[in-house]
Structure 1
Amino acid sequence: MFNARDRRSFKTEDAGDSKPESQKLNFYDRPPRHDVTLEEFEICALNRLRILAEIESSLARNRSWEEMKTQTTQQCKNYLPLDTEEDRKQDHVSHYVLRLAFCRSEDLRRRFIKAEGILFRTRFDEVLKADREQLLDSQRLHWLKVEETEKQNHRNELYSLYPPIKPEDVRNTSFNRDTYYKVRWTRVPDLIEKRKVFLSGGWAYVPGREQSSIIFQEFEDRLARALELTARSLPRLDEDSRLVPILDNLSNGFVAGVSSEWSSSTEGKNGEITAEMVDHHARNDFPMCMRTLHEQLRKDHHLKHFGRLQYGLFLKVLGLPIEESIVFWRKSFDRITDDKFNKEYKYNIRHSFGLEGKRANYPAKSCQQILSPGPSEHGCPYRHYSPENLQTALLANYSSQGLTSADLPEVVALVKSGHFHVACTRVFEITHASCGIKKGDGVGGFESVTHPNQYAARSIELRKGDIKKEGT
């Protein structure tokens, strides 16, 4: 917990006395007014980012609306439920924190609006009718109810779009009772595209059953305007060295997804790995970033410092214990003497396990960290290889596991659109089809790859199950 000096308050002069967190559906038109600690600031935002990153992944993978809604609903239950007022406060804060993170470029704003729009639509479909009515009562949506006389004047046009239950009678009570709203045609582009509304004099006549489209479009339009205003105010935050790094980390989360909780608590999840097993797992279970490091190690009998650190921590978390790690690296560095190895490398291996120095148990690098490497560090092949080199490397590494040249256009298209972790996930699905993984399954539970250890551990788990089936 931080003291008063470490707190930041969101305030607005015209917010009124009502509490936005009192309702489940929120247009986020008034900022939170309570104090927020830096810890809450970051945790709330990360929880929301997990949901939005999964929505982006679903869009990139062309999942159906029902699949996306099911996955989004489950993610909301896990990370941002709306059951209590405290839950809704966190939801409210998380939205405003991500506004700060994603207002800084046109591309980030566009992606944020799209993902937030889908999240809002999912919640709108899931909540009770009373929650929807509470939202509508609290908003001015500027639509006009079509009077009966005007409706009858356009009955043929309206009827052609939405016929009543009895087609032979355009004047039956079902038609007359139907409610229509008039809005400016620019507010319902999705309905116009689908030819679901009648247009006249710049007005779109929207039936009550399509009312939600007006609400969804209004939500996105307001958010777009709010993000532009936030972007103009953002330079004032540059003086606060605590917030800017948090916001930078959050905005990078859309590129790589939010990392799974792979920490020291997950080490050895699939059982202990020996030095002799690493070659086998590298050929069959490693993502391309780690395969690349392994192949470089085998070719040169050496890796530079950052390569050793990245690959060594990956193997540690995967289940290679300290004794086997020393054996593995000694055999890999077979062109140097024992004395040189002990003096120059053994200490660093022990240090990464928390046995030397400050004795910290270092975690393995996530996809987000690998996607944005520092000087001399090894990055993500999907991001840093040219399309030609990437395709060559994919076939060289994964053709024996079922990946063919016919799969490459889909993977490259994902890379070109900036969805690097989704491209890696698609390769995982293709190369594990023999284990029962289908397109859209991800690494399990529809999750995308967000960490090299997540990829490798899931692969080992699947192949163990496949071996057991063959033995029965």
Structure 2
Amino acid sequence: MYQAAKHSSKLQKNGLDDDLSLVEGSTSASHRLSLYDQPPLYDITVEDFETSALDRLRILAEIESSAARNRSWEETKQVTITQCGKYLPLNSNSALGIDLQSERRKDQLGHFVLRLAFCRSEELRRRFVKAETTLFRVRYETDDSNERRAFLDSKDFNWISVGSEEKNKYQAQLTHFAPGKSDTERENAFKSEPFYKVKWTTIPDLVDKRKVFMKGGFAYVPAREQASIIYAAFEERLDAALLATSRAIPLVDEETRLNPILDNLAQGFTAGVPSDWHFPLCMRVLHQTLRRDRHIQHFGRLHYGLFLKVLGLKIDEAIIFWRKSFAGGKGSDKFDKEYRYNIRHSFGLEGGRRNYPAKNCLQLHTAHEAGCPYRQLENSPENLQSALLSTYSGQGLTLDDLPEIMTQVKKKAYHVACTRVFEITHSRHVKKGEGLGDGESVTHPNQYAARSIELEKDSQEPKMEVD
């Protein structure tokens, strides 16, 4: 995938600025499922490069949101299927009247673009692998059984089919892992159940749950647990591929057109927050700090926590979100001791039991810590402009927009600057001067977010045609 940077330089010289030639040739995908072991082999436009990645990012962000909200597997699967239907449909070979190759090209391209964006740090690689593995699992469970078997037959998962002689040799041990409530039921199931042998280190989840028999460094896996081998193989190969891509990333860093796109994609991968929700800069800065440092100071936690509460985050979800955000969920005792009380207090469940409201813009303007970035960075215009571009360049804000915004900042009209950013990033729905709609200006971070979510939902709802 990273060959794109090399080839795009050649295209620039030929005057073809809008194209990125990845590798000469074409590609086709025989199966709906993929291990993404070969990069795309076709030319793309910069627009396709970004669009395919953003649509896939919506799916991965919703998967992270499901984890942060502690959704069950069935709930996560259903939400993911729904999101895929909107942004990343991927039909089986048996589907009629569908351009399957177009769907699979977009799926492949989006995956490899995001590899470039998320290979740059260990934390990003870990989160990307986890979300992609979940997406693969959803597709695996919902795939046509015959097509899934054809996919498995086409790949080498490094398993060894256990022959009848070896199976009988360990019958006493293997029967224990056959399904059934009685010895007779398990013995009957054992006779028809195939077993596969893999290195035990490749399936730690089954080993931890004691669902396999181990002997001589190998785990004997019953066929009904075969999916665990496949998920582990997907995760292991993607992890290795990301590491290899990270070592080759200097080739892409030479390509200035791609860097802003990749940087924005990486910053937009926010746990617990769907990627199509546009937050005001004050809350985006706090979230980015939390993702980067695994911690934010007291007033940052207060402001961002109240913002999320008003947005709809429940107390149980909030505790899960903050625990996972701090040091990757480690140090549970320390978290409970130092932070849990304050979170419950902000929900009115401790102390004076006052249900605190989220801070409005005026309160953030006067805050000395974790306040309005337009005010706090007023004397550091380069930093403010950099923050705006890194946060909103993927949502339509460009260098040409900055002078107008900075003019309002210099006038100390911070709310006007923020409102103009909203208009620019929501230009499909509002025009310049309309603010949030009907000329209303931004006066509260939750007002900004709620209006953004409302506009996004309206744009996705089917419109009724009237004759």
TM-score range normalised by the length of the shorter chain: 0.5 to 0.7
Q: Note closer, same or farther for the CA distance 1:41–1:369 as it changes in structure 2 (3 Å cut).
A: farther
On the 8 A contact 1:259/1:451 being kept in 2, the answer is no
Task: Identify the range of structure 1 (160-169 vs 97-106) with the bigger mean alpha-carbon deviation.
Answer: 160-169
2:460 matched to 1:455? no
2:19 matched to 1:7? yes
2:200 matched to 1:185? yes
Aligned-residue offset at 1:8 = 1.7
- Structure 1 residues not aligned, in runs of 5+: 262-365, 374-378, 432-449, 461-472
Aligned-residue offset at 1:167 = 2.1
Give a deviation string over 1:49-69, Cα, whole Å, max 9, x none: 000011111112211111111
1:254 aligns to what SS in structure 2?
coil
In the other structure, the counterpart of 1:126 is 142
State the number of aligned residues: 321
Aligned-residue offset at 1:170 = 6.1
In the other structure, the counterpart of 1:85 is 101
Q: Which residue, out of 88, 99, 110, partners 2:115?
A: 99
Q: So what's the TM-score if we normalise by structure 2?
A: 0.60
CA distance in 1, matches of 2:105, 2:311: 47
Give a deviation string over 1:309-331, Cα, whole Å, max 9, x none: xxxxxxxxxxxxxxxxxxxxxxx
CA distance in 2, matches of 1:369, 1:161: 54
On the 8 A contact 1:259/1:367 being kept in 2, the answer is no
Q: Which residue, out of 43, 50, 53, partners 2:61?
A: 53
Q: Which amino acid aligns with 1:251?
A: A
2:88 matched to 1:73? no
In the other structure, the counterpart of 2:220 is 205
Give a deviation string over 1:331-364, Cα, whole Å, max 9, x none: xxxxxxxxxxxxxxxxxxxxxxxxxxxxxxxxxx
Residue pairs, 1:56-455, within 5 angstroms: 56-83=64-91, 84-164=100-180, 167-168=183-184, 172=188, 174-255=189-270, 257=273, 259-260=275-276, 366-367=278-279, 369-370=281-282, 383=290, 386-390=296-300, 409=319, 412-413=322-323, 415-416=325-326, 453-455=448-450
CA distance in 1, matches of 2:309, 2:280: 27
On the 8 A contact 1:121/1:216 being kept in 2, the answer is yes
On the 8 A contact 1:113/1:224 being kept in 2, the answer is yes
Aligned-residue offset at 1:6 = 3.0
1:241 aligns to what SS in structure 2?
coil
On the 8 A contact 2:174/2:190 being kept in 1, the answer is no
In the other structure, the counterpart of 2:44 is 36
Q: Note closer, same or farther for the CA distance 1:382–1:451 as it changes in structure 2 (3 Å cut).
A: farther
1:21 aligns to what SS in structure 2?
coil
1:36 aligns to what SS in structure 2?
strand
CA distance in 2, matches of 1:135, 1:258: 31
Q: Note closer, same or farther for the CA distance 1:94–1:406 as it changes in structure 2 (3 Å cut).
A: closer
CA distance in 1, matches of 2:229, 2:165: 23
Give a deviation string over 1:273-294, Cα, whole Å, max 9, x none: xxxxxxxxxxxxxxxxxxxxxx
Over aligned residue pairs, what C-alpha RMSD do you find?
4.0
Q: Which residue, out of 9, 14, 29, partners 1:21?
A: 29
**Structure possessing the higher radius of gyration over alpha carbons:** 1
CA distance in 1, matches of 2:244, 2:309: 50
CA distance in 2, matches of 1:166, 1:396: 54
Aligned-residue offset at 1:161 = 2.0
On the 8 A contact 1:260/1:454 being kept in 2, the answer is no
Question: Identity across aligned pairs (percent)?
Answer: 41
In the other structure, the counterpart of 2:459 is none
In the other structure, the counterpart of 2:427 is none
Give a deviation string over 1:409-452, Cα, whole Å, max 9, x none: 55643553689xxx9xx99xx79xxxxxxxxxxxxxxxxxx986
Q: So what's the TM-score if we normalise by structure 1?
A: 0.59
CA distance in 1, matches of 2:31, 2:213: 33
Q: Which amino acid aligns with 1:111?
A: R
Q: Which amino acid aligns with 2:156?
A: R
Aligned-residue offset at 1:194 = 1.0
CA distance in 2, matches of 1:45, 1:65: 25
Q: Note closer, same or farther for the CA distance 1:11–1:201 as it changes in structure 2 (3 Å cut).
A: same
Give a deviation string over 1:134-172, Cα, whole Å, max 9, x none: 211221111110011111111111111224576237654
CA distance in 1, matches of 2:156, 2:316: 52
